[in-house]
Chain A
Amino acid sequence: MAGPVAATARRVLLQLLHDRRTSALLLVVPSVLMTLVRYAFTKQPQVFEGVGPMLLALFPFTVMFVVASVAMLRERSSGTLERLMAGPAGKGSLLGGYALAFGAATLAQVAVVLGVSLWGLSLRVDGSIWLVVLFALLDAWLGMALGLFLSAFAKTEFQAVQFLPAFVLPQFLLCGLLVPRDQMAVALRLLSDFLPLSYAVDGVSRVAYTTTLTGAIWTDLVVVAACIPVALALGALTLQRKGE
């Protein structure tokens, strides 16, 4: 199993690396956006203090969602997925390979945006930086798994790209980034309780302001982590060996 998983991870990373522009966008865009937020609110530094850590968790989720759904769509439309399904390898090695590759890409992305934010933009993180990285990594996997799952419902790249406003933006609006969740209409607050991104954002903002590992942080971590296998299982369900 280790062979096919590692080979798939290597292959996906090679594809990303061969595409220099994608690699550059992946690494640079979050830092640019973070800088924009910092200086757009230059007269209200407390806004950046508030949303900065949340953004650290949101970038990997969004980027990996899009990259994974397009990668899987290409895998389907080019016939390489069918080819892999005709061979002896299991679906697990394919999904595992994707998870490893996107995990590595996320670590690189988070390293850059965290470096720029902490030292370039003087973002304050009181808690553990490692927990912030951990949340970012879990979010990236969550985004990846949801992207792989939803890509099964897209027949074209046009549709796949539309899933970003359709599935990611609502989570953005409801996760507590723009308005604290307890100030939303009750129905929306209840809805946000069922969206994994809410826990990711809650967790990261808690980590940013406290040095102690509270129970609430653990709860957030466990919820986000538990959603990943569920999303991956949904993704695996869409990998049908036999097509119509």
Chain B
Amino acid sequence: MDNLIQVGGLVVDRSGQRVVDGIGFDVPSGSLTGLIGPSGSGKSTVMRCIAGVQKHAGGLVKVGGYEAGSRMARGLVGYQPQRPAVYLDLTVRENLSYFATMIGVGASGVSEAIDRVSLGGEASRCVERLSGGQVARVSLAIALLGSPSVLLLDEPTVGLDPVLREDLWRLFATLAAQGTALVVSSHVMDEAERCERLLLLRDGRLLADAAPSALKAETGTTDLDSAFLAVIRTRRV
């Protein structure tokens, strides 16, 4: 399998502070990787580096073999930023249609993306009239436009009701099965269980890179919260 995302020795400094400190990992096509860690651990910064919208002080980030942020790499990536990056004063469909044109996706792609996040009934409503969870799904739908080979989703399920979260994680698994390389960030451990592979981040460092089951086995724990704690403790020693 080819590695669609390659990150090596990544270092990011922000106002004199090192916020990402020598992180490296590869993500193959057809995989679902969880970027897990507390708020402030550097998850969003790593995502932004892969999306090509974040300057980095060192290391390399490649998407499909191209430098992240280069024209070729940008064509491969669907990115959902943490805050819902949508036009609140436009309708759901107007938002989707606009971003679709900007990336060269046709009208059928717009309807498909709206259906995938179950917003068909709200398509002609103004985004500012939607609930927070619905706005987040509009933002997700934009990232899904055109079925990109790399999907970067920064906390896509925050504020969603459990049924919807279930649906979305099933969607993520389906997309991975179809060949998409997904990186999904979360600070909720019960969501981490749904990933094939976990990257545990803390203070800008990569603490662990393993499957959930392997992580629990290695640390002799039964849940991921305890496993994360155990990893932090062993790292300190």
Q: Do A and B come from one complex?
A: yes
Determine the distance from Cα of A243 to Cα of B69 in the docked complex, in whole angstroms. 11
Choose one: B48, B55, B75, B83; the contact of A78 (CB below 8 Å).
B83
Residue among A10, A79, A86 with the most chain B CB within 10 A?
A: A86
Complex Cα gap A83–B71 (Å): 14
CB distance from A176 to the nearest CB of B (A): 38
Are A82 and B103 closer than 8 Å at their CB atoms?
A: no
A165 contacts B by Cβ under 8 Å: no
Checking A3, A10, A15, A93 against B89 with a beta-carbon cut-off of 8 angstroms, the contacting residue is A15
Of all A-B residue pairs in the complex, the 9 with the closest CB atoms, nearest first, are A79-B85, A7-B101, A83-B85, A89-B102, A86-B51, A88-B75, A11-B98, A242-B55, A86-B79
Given contacts A87-B102, A88-B103, A89-B102, contact A18 B53 (CB under 8 A): no
Contact of B102 with A84 in the complex, beta carbons under 8 Å: yes
Say yes or no: is B77 at the interface (Cβ < 8 Å to chain A): yes
How far is the CB of A75 from the nearest CB of chain B, in Å? 9
B191 → chain A closest CB, angstroms: 22
A241 near B69 (CB under 8 angstroms)?
Answer: yes
B198 within 8 A of A: no
Measured between C-beta atoms, what is the minimum distance from B52 to chain A in Å?
6
Query: Which of B75, B84, B90 is in CB contact (< 8 Å) with A15?
Result: B90
Q: Could you tell me which A residues sit within 8 Å of B by CB distance?
A: 3-4, 7-8, 10-11, 14-15, 18-19, 78-80, 82-89, 93, 241-244
17 intermolecular pairs with C-beta atoms under 8 Å apart: A8-B98, A8-B102, A11-B87, A11-B94, A19-B89, A79-B84, A80-B85, A83-B142, A85-B52, A85-B53, A87-B74, A88-B74, A93-B102, A242-B54, A242-B55, A242-B69, A244-B55
Contacts of B11-62 to chain A: CB distance below 8 A: 14-15, 48, 51-55
Asked if residues A241 and B85 are in contact (CB atoms below 8 Å), the reply is no
A83 touches B90 (CB 8 A): no
Does A18 contact B55, Cβ atoms closer than 8 Å?
no
Nearest CB in chain B to that of A90: its residue: B71
Instruction: Let me know if A242 and B53 touch, CB within 8 A.
Output: yes
Check A83–B74 contact: CB distance below 8 A. no
Residues on the A chain within 8 Å of B103, using CB: 87-89
Please give the distance in Å from A95's CB to the nearest CB on chain B: 13
At the interface, yes or no: B5 with Cβ under 8 Å from chain A? Answer: no
Give residues 149-171 of B contacting A (CB, 8 Å). none
| CB of B8 closer than 8 Å to a CB of A | no
Task: Tell me the dominant secondary structure on chain A's binding face.
Answer: helix
| A83→B77 CA distance, assembly (Å) | 11
Q: How far is the CB of A145 from chain B (nearest CB, A)?
A: 21
- The B71-122 residues at the A interface (CB cut-off 8 A) are 71, 74-75, 77, 79, 81, 83-90, 94, 97-99, 101-104
Whether B207 is near chain A, meaning CB under 8 Å from some CB there, is no
In the assembled complex, the Cα of A15 lies from the Cα of B128 at a distance in Å of: 12
Q: Does B126 contact A (CB under 8 A)?
A: yes
Cα–Cα, bound, A18→B90 (Å): 7
Query: Contacts A88-B74, A243-B54 given: A78-B102 contact, CB under 8 Å?
Result: no
Nearest opposing residue in chain A for B74, CB measure: A88
Task: Indicate which residue in B15, B74, B87, B90 contacts A86 across the interface (CB closer than 8 Å).
Answer: B74
Partner of B52, one of A4, A78, A241, A244: A241
Given B79, B89, B102, which contacts A4 in the complex, CB threshold below 8 Å? B102
Smallest Cβ distance from B46 to chain A, in angstroms?
14
6 additional A-B residue pairs with CB within 8 Å, beyond A8-B102, A78-B85, A79-B84: A7-B102, A86-B51, A86-B77, A87-B74, A88-B103, A241-B53
Chain A residue nearest to B71 in the complex (CB): A88
Task: Give Cα A78 to B51, complex, Å.
Answer: 17
Q: Which residues of A contact B89 (CB under 8 A)?
A: 15, 18-19
Contact between chains at B99 and A87 (CB < 8 Å):
yes
Query: Separation in Å of the A23 CB from the closest CB of chain B?
Result: 12
B81 in contact with A82 (CB, 8 Å) = yes
Give Cα distance in the complex from A125 to B142, angstroms. Answer: 50
- Residues of chain A with a CB closer than 8 A to B84's CB: 79
